[in-house]
Amino acid sequence: DAKTTQPTSMDCAEGRAANLPCNHSTISGNEYVYWYRQIHSQGPQYIIHGLKNNETNEMASLIITEDRKSSTLILPHATLRDTAVYYCIVRPYNFGNEKLTFGTGTRLTIIP
């Protein structure tokens, strides 16, 4: 699996957009980018995933660069409940390569 690099921690003011970067320079053509977050004492929560096009859902937007070597997760209006560890993961889209390989993620703190 391709590896990802994320900043260890970030702060964001409440109500502002939180932009979380992720580098995945060795990503392969059949690998998707997934984002999960984990709030203290809970299991990881799926946020969004994409292959090469930008994606948006009710939680966040995912911007993937044209060369697919990096991506940014955007939380448009951060709230205190968005304080969590955010994981960027790349995973092949094929049978037999289904495990998620988590790094240590980015600890995002939303400041009141």
Partner 1 sequence: DTGVSQDPRHKITKRGQNVTFRCDPISEHNRLYWYRQTLGQGPEFLTYFQNEAQLEKSRLLSDRFSAERPKGSFSTLEIQRTEQGDSAMYLCASSGDVYSNQPQHFGDGTRLSIL
Would you tell me which residues interact with partner 1 (CB under 8 A)? Answer: 32, 34, 36, 41-46, 49, 85, 87, 93-96, 98-105
Q: At closest approach, how far in Å is the CB of 112 from partner 1? A: 25
The token pair at 30 is 């059949």
**Per-residue buried b or exposed e for 45-70, using 16+ beta carbons within 10 Å of the residue's own CB:** eebbbbeeeebeeeebbbbbeeebeb
Q: At closest approach, how far in Å is the CB of 65 from partner 1? A: 21
Residues in the chain: 112
Q: Which of 59, 109, 60 is nearest to 84 (CA)?
A: 109
- Specify the residue, 96 or 112, whose C-beta has the smaller distance to partner 1: 96
Q: At closest approach, how far in Å is the CB of 34 from partner 1? A: 7
